[in-house]
Structure 1
C-alpha cells in the first residue's frame, strides 16, 4: 500500500526550513538542496510541493505572516475586556518583534521585506499583510482617540514598528529603548504626558 503523505504538513515543514535558512543567511542562502536537507525530505519532495523557488518563497512568506498574525491575535484574545488603547499597545509590541524569542522571526521578515523590493509576488503578499494590519490599527486608533486621523496614525504606527525592528536587529538601539520609543509615541497619541 502506498505511503500517504500530508502535503500541507510537508509544505509547512519546507516553509519552516526556508525560514531557518533565511534567518541564518538571508534569502540568497535558500537553495533547493539546502531546503530539502533542512526539511529532511528529498529534493523531489520539495519539487512536488512547489513548482518553483518563487512559489516556495511565497508560501514561506505567507506561513511566517500567519504565525506572526496568530501570535498578535492570541495576545489580543488573552484580555478580551481590554480597551482599544491597551489592545493597540499589545498589537504594536507583538508586531515589532523586539523580544529575544522573536529575533529570528524578525530577521526572516526583514529578509523577505528586502527581497520584496525586487519580487512582485512577495511585494503583493506584504502589501496585503500591511493592508490588513492597517485596517485593524485604524479601527483601534479610531476607538481609542477620536481627535486624530486614524488611517494616518495607523500608517505611522506600522512604519514605526518596522523601523524599530530594523534598528534593534542591527544593534543600533536596544529592545528596551525601542519599547520606550513605542510607548512614548502611543502616550503622545493618547494625549498623555510621556515618561
Structure 2
C-alpha cells in the first residue's frame, strides 16, 4: 500500500522552512536545495508541492500573512466585545510587529515587501493582505469615532496602515526602539481619536 502523504501539511512545512531561511538570509538566500534540507524533505517533495520557486514564495507569504491576521483577530479586530479604541490600538501594535518576539516576522515581512516590487504574484498577495487590514482598521476607526467626513475612516485607516509598516522598518534598522515606535503609534492614535 502506498504511503499516504499529507500534502497540505507538507506545504506548510516547506513554507516554514522558507520563512526561516528568509529570516536568516533574505529571500535571495532561499534556494530549493536549502528549503528541502531545512524542511527535511527531498527536493522532489518540494517540487511536488510547488511547481516554481515563485509559487513556493507566494504560499509562504500567504502563510505568514494568515499567522499575523489570526493574531490580529485575537487582538480584537474581529468585533469581539470591548472598546473599539482599545481594539484599534491592539490591532495597530500587532500589525506593526514591534515586539521582540515579532522581530523575525518583521524581517521576513519586509523581505517579501521588497521582493514584491519586482514580483506581481507577491504584490498581489500583499495587496490582498493590506486590503483586509485596511478594512479592519476602517471599521475600528469608524466605531471609535475617528472618522471625519465622507471617506474619513478609510483615509485614516490607510494612514494608520502605512504608519505601521513604516514603524516596522524604522525599528528593524535601528532608527527607533520598539518603545519609541510604540510612542509614535500611541501619539498618532491619540490625535486620530481625540485623546
Judge which range, 77-86 or 97-106, deviates more. Answer: 77-86
For 1:101 and 1:92, locate their aligned partners in 2 and report how far apart those are by CA, in whole Å: 16
User: Matches of 1:155 and 1:120 in 2, distance apart?
Assistant: 21
2:22, 2:29 within 8 Å by CA — same for their partners in 1? yes
The answer to whether the Cα contact below 8 Å between 2:14 and 2:39 also exists between their aligned partners in 1 is yes
User: Which region of structure 1 is more displaced relative to structure 2, 137-146 or 32-41?
Assistant: 137-146
Aligned position for 1:119: 119
The match for 1:14 is: 14
Going from structure 1 to structure 2, the CA distance change for 1:99 and 1:146 (only over 3 Å counts) comes to: closer
Separation of aligned partners in 1, 2:99 and 2:146: 31
Q: Write the distance in 1 (CA, Å) between the matches of 2:63 and 2:47.
A: 18
Match of 1:173 in 2: 176
Query: What is the match of residue 105 of structure 1?
Result: 105
- Following TM superposition, the consecutive aligned residue runs of length 4 or more in structure 1 with deviations greater than 2 angstroms are 77-81
Residues 25-80 of structure 1: CA deviation (Å, up to 9, x unaligned) = 11000000000000000000000000000000000000000000001112217993
Distance of 2:122 and 2:77 partners within structure 1? 29
- Aligned equivalents of 2:37 and 2:143: distance in 1? 49
Q: Structure 1 residues 76, 128: closer, same or farther in 2, change over 3 A?
A: same
1:140 aligns with 2:143: no
Q: 1:78 to 1:136 in 2, by over 3 A?
A: closer
Equivalenced residue count is: 192
- Runs (5+) with no aligned partner, structure 1: none
- Calculate the TM-score normalised by the size of structure 2: 0.95
Rounded to whole Å, the distance in 2 between the matches of 1:180 and 1:16 is: 32
- Structure 2 residue runs of 5 or longer lacking an equivalent are none
Q: Secondary structure at the match of 1:171?
A: coil
State the partner residue of 2:58: 58
How well do the aligned residues superpose, as a CA RMSD in angstroms? 1.4
Counterpart Cα distance in 2 of 1:80 and 1:163: 27
